[in-house]
Homo-oligomer: A and B are copies of this chain.
């Protein structure tokens, strides 16, 4: 599988890390194989907008082959990586032949962690993939349809939406969901008492948006409360069941919907590797982002337990994966050029989270903090710029302009996955 005499770089994962590593290397003297289980690069910072009918799933997905398809030295492979043979330098792919490498960049990302809390795996809605977002959207809209047909079910928690985790995803989802309900579903269901619906954001710690400045955290809290979100700080969930959540203090809430954004851990691929792991199963790396004893294997982004130069763990955000990708690519280039390599150094470009219509918090290095409309505009701009593909940018811009001006959300469509026609058809 190593095509030609040029070094073969295998990249696992087409997220922010994988596509940026490919971009940095594709003009060099390399054969590159980029492997992902999906054929698209997902722009996950906007996933919550798909879940809340603001965008369609295609708007945040860019076909990977479209990015690199005309490069003869880039080989895109659809497949699930099941393990790595570090000694023989082989990547195992489910149901496919092994792929050998000269350099390997592991950028497989993260998955949801249930923290061992009973019922999370069975009853919570994760929000990590496009199908997750479509499933959550279908579920929320179907809850309202059922409530409209049988209003007596509302008392059983049919319109109670519990969001576990007060990080950026939980905060953004809480804001968007309360707007979807208050602005759109209230109009869609004139015969239903939509004021009975509630959005409950549950956070174990005493603040939202861990890692942000206290003033931003307080602003997010106030803004969500003003939108009618029931924010419960210092609250821990002890169990989930089919129709209720149980808290550590023994109290319960009836609900048919718990979205789990509380826990994140390394992609299960990390569990398949017999190497030291850190918090959340992330793979320990050297200062060069390589596996100890394997300088040819880079581990970047969410699957990597990378730290800053003070030894402090880096957050699981796109910027860390992008900068890790650039570092890995440059190190590979320097090595074949016989030049000395450098340790990885992370430069924070700041953090932002949107809370809804004209409401966001943004923190720029140097201490500048933007809030409200200004924070929101900077959030819009940054996300449009980083969205991959001209067409996606235009369509997302049209959708956002439409959503903003009309207070409409055009994607509130329940896309069933069953076919209309009874059919046992085969699939490729």
**In whole angstroms, how far apart are the Cα atoms of A77 and B146 in the complex?**
9
A87 within 8 A of B: no
A251 within 8 A of B: no
Kindly state the interface size class of chain A when it binds its partner.
35 or more
**In whole angstroms, how far apart are the Cα atoms of A142 and B39 in the complex?**
9
Contact A188 B65 (CB under 8 A): yes
**In whole angstroms, how far apart are the Cα atoms of A162 and B204 in the complex?**
56
A207 within 8 A of B: no
A190 within 8 A of B: yes
Among residues 245 to 262 in chain A, which have CB atoms less than 8 Å away from a CB atom of chain B? Answer: 256-257
Per-residue interface assignment for chain A, residues 66 to 81, with 1 indicating a CB less than 8 Å from any chain B CB and 0 otherwise: 1001111001011100
Among residues 12 to 43 in chain A, which have CB atoms less than 8 Å away from a CB atom of chain B? Answer: 38-40
Contact A75 B191 (CB under 8 A): yes
With A56-B58, A408-B391 known as contacts, the answer to whether A256 contacts B426 (CB < 8 A) is yes
A112 within 8 A of B: yes
A145 proximity list for chain B (CB < 8 A): 39, 78
Contact B410 A63 (CB under 8 A): yes
| A418 → B minimal CB distance (Å) | 7
**In whole angstroms, how far apart are the Cα atoms of A414 and B63 in the complex?**
9
With A40-B413, A190-B72, A391-B410 known as contacts, the answer to whether A420 contacts B139 (CB < 8 A) is no
Partner of A419, one of B58, B135, B141: B135
Q: Give A140's nearest chain B residue, CB to CB.
A: B428
Q: Give A95's nearest chain B residue, CB to CB.
A: B149
Contact A188 B57 (CB under 8 A): no
**In whole angstroms, how far apart are the Cα atoms of A190 and B69 in the complex?**
7
Q: What DSSP secondary structure best describes chain A's contact surface?
A: mixed
Partner of A414, one of B39, B59, B408: B39
Partner of A122, one of B146, B242, B423: B423
A146 proximity list for chain B (CB < 8 A): 428
**In whole angstroms, how far apart are the Cα atoms of A400 and B145 in the complex?**
33
A193 within 8 A of B: no
A152 within 8 A of B: no
Partner of A69, one of B125, B138, B189, B402: B189
| A284 → B minimal CB distance (Å) | 24
Q: Give A59's nearest chain B residue, CB to CB.
A: B56
With A56-B59, A69-B188, A421-B112 known as contacts, the answer to whether A139 contacts B427 (CB < 8 A) is yes
With A78-B145, A424-B121, A424-B122 known as contacts, the answer to whether A414 contacts B40 (CB < 8 A) is yes
**In whole angstroms, how far apart are the Cα atoms of A417 and B131 in the complex?**
6
Contact B420 A131 (CB under 8 A): yes
A51 within 8 A of B: no
Per-residue interface assignment for chain A, residues 384 to 428, with 1 indicating a CB less than 8 Å from any chain B CB and 0 otherwise: 000001111011001100100010101111111111111111111
Identify the A interface with B (CB < 8 A): 38-40, 56-59, 61-63, 65-66, 69-72, 75, 77-79, 96, 111-112, 121-126, 128-132, 134-135, 138-139, 141-143, 145-146, 148-149, 158, 187-191, 242, 256-257, 389-392, 394-395, 398-399, 402, 406, 408, 410-428
Known A66-B408, A129-B420, A138-B427; further 14 A-B contacts with Cβ < 8 A: A40-B413, A56-B57, A72-B190, A72-B191, A78-B414, A122-B424, A126-B419, A143-B428, A257-B428, A389-B410, A391-B398, A391-B402, A394-B398, A395-B399
